[in-house]
Amino acid sequence: MVIMNAIKIIELKNFQCHKHLKCTLSNEVTTFIGPSDEGKSAILRALRWVAMNDPAGDSFIRWGAKFAKVKLTLDDDTIITRKRGVGQNLYKLNDEKYVSFKNSVPPDIQKTLRIIAENFQQQYDNPFWISETAGELARQLNKIVNLDIIDYTMSELNSRARKVNIELEIIQEKLDGARIKQERCEISKEINKQLTIVEKLDFELENVVVDVEELEPLINKIDNTRVIIKSFGRMIRAADQVIKVGDEYSECAADCDHISTLMLQIHHVEEYLKKEIPDLSELENLFDKHVNMASDKHELNTLVSRIEHSILSVSTIESLLYDAEKSLEKEMVGKCPLCENPIKS
């Protein structure tokens, strides 16, 4: 249960309507009695201001005063002071000052005073706990009677139980491992038999290794032979290149011979061209006569063609004339076509 230190004396200076008020409280129950608006609720507000740092601001400073101060004296003579004014905002625990606390209460003041919000009941609040929901009531009871400590304890116990269960599982796993090892020891004879087989196989493997070592020189010779074959291959490729170059040389030599022959022929032509050119006038006259004769021949051929065509035309006309005479004879039948008189033969 949260046990708070009893407040023996409460003293107010310039707090709301109180310029200066000092009250000595009872060890059991203290009741403030008086007319309305005389500052009874202000005493509770002053106590709440010290315990909760509420209300904030400085609206509670008495009109015309420069500061407000509330001092609590506990039953162990511890003195807690709260002061607010121009350039001042502090708590004091005996002679120690606290100034950087913002809107909260310094932890040392909270720990010493041990008053929480649930300890206060305002004048116009609903009846304490009667109007609260079940959940809110449980929450407030937890704070007052430390049920949260019970919950924390139960949570810790459950956590420890889980850890113990985990440790038991680990121990069980180790025990199972030990049992497996024991079973393995029981089958050690079978393992020895398998080991004998392995040793035999190892001996055979050693023999195989010896055989492999004997084969290694042969393998090396094969590798060397492959290297020699590769070198022969390079030599063969080089010989092919030489043969190819020889063929190309032969082709070039043939081309050179042909060029030499052409050069010789050109030389002969040049020698012939150096000779004196004979008189060609007679040949030119003969050529002109030949040209004229060719022209005359062409004209004669044309005339012959015309004559042949004329002869063909005459033959055609004679044939047509003959046909016409035959046809006329058939039409006349011995009469004149003009007078129709008989023709005397």
Residue 271: its pLDDT value, please? 77
Specify the 3-state DSSP secondary structure of 89.
Answer: strand
List, in order, residues 6 or more apart from 328 with CB less than 8 Å away: 337
| 1 confidence band (pLDDT: 50, 70, 90) | very low
Whole-number mean pLDDT of the chain? Answer: 81
Contact yes or no for 335/343 (Cβ under 8 A): yes
Residue 18 near residue 42 (C-beta atoms within 8 A): yes
- pLDDT, tens digit, 9 for 90 and up, residues 3-12: 557 899 999 9
Nearest to 10 by CA among 56, 60, 65, 49: 49
Instruction: State pLDDT tens for residues 95-139.
Output: 999 987 888 899 999 899 888 877 787 777 776 666 777 777 677
| Domains of the chain, residue spans | 7-124
Omega before 55 cis (within 30°)? yes
The DSSP annotation for 166-219 comes to HHHHHHHHHHHHHHHHHHHHHTHHHHHHHHHHHHHHHHHHHHHHHHHHHHHHHH
CA dihedral 179, 181, 185, 189 (to 10 degrees): 120
Report the alpha-carbon distance of residue 184 to residue 186 in Å, rounded: 5
- Domain 7-124 adopts which CATH fold? Rossmann fold (3.40.50)
Q: What is the pLDDT confidence band of residue 94, given thresholds at 50, 70 and 90?
A: very high
| Neighbouring residues of 85: CB distance < 8 A, sequence distance ≥ 6 | 58, 61, 65, 66, 67, 68
Task: Check whether 21 has a pLDDT greater than 90.
Answer: yes
- For residue 68, give every residue at least 6 positions away whose Cβ sits within 8 Å of its Cβ, in sequence order, or none: 13, 14, 15, 58, 60, 61, 62, 83, 84, 85
Bin 126: left if φ > 0, else alpha if -120 < ψ < 50, else beta.
beta
Cα 222 to Cα 217: distance, rounded to the nearest angstrom: 9
The whole-number pLDDT of residue 2 equals 45
Give the pLDDT of residue 74: 94
Grouping H, G, I as helix, E, B as strand and the rest as coil, residue 272 is helix
User: How far, CA to CA in Å, does 234 sit from each of 144, 173, 227, 237, 319?
Assistant: 104, 71, 11, 5, 97
Binned at pLDDT 50, 70 and 90, residue 278 comes out as low
CB 32 within 8 A of CB 40: yes
Task: Report the alpha-carbon angle 131-134-138, nearest 5.
Answer: 110
Type and span of the H or E element at 240? helix 188-273
Over residues 220-261, the pLDDT tens digits come to 887 887 787 777 677 777 777 877 877 787 788 787 888 888
CB 90 within 8 A of CB 36: no
Q: Which of 43-57, 158-172, 232-246 shows the lowest per-residue confidence on average (mean pLDDT)?
A: 232-246
Greatest pairwise CA separation for the chain in angstroms: 203
Q: What are phi and psi of 256, to 5 degrees?
A: -65, -40
pTM above 0.75, yes or no: no
Using one digit for the tens of pLDDT, what is the confidence trace for 59-72? 999 999 999 999 99
When comparing pLDDT for 27 and 93, which is higher? 93
Among 19-28, 73-82, 247-256, the range scoring the smallest mean pLDDT is 247-256
φ/ψ of residue 328, rounded to 5: -70, -40
Q: What is the pLDDT of residues 175-209, one digit of tens each?
A: 888 888 777 777 777 777 877 887 888 788 788 77
For the cut 70, the answer to whether the pLDDT of residue 23 exceeds it is: yes
Q: What is the pLDDT of residue 333?
A: 64
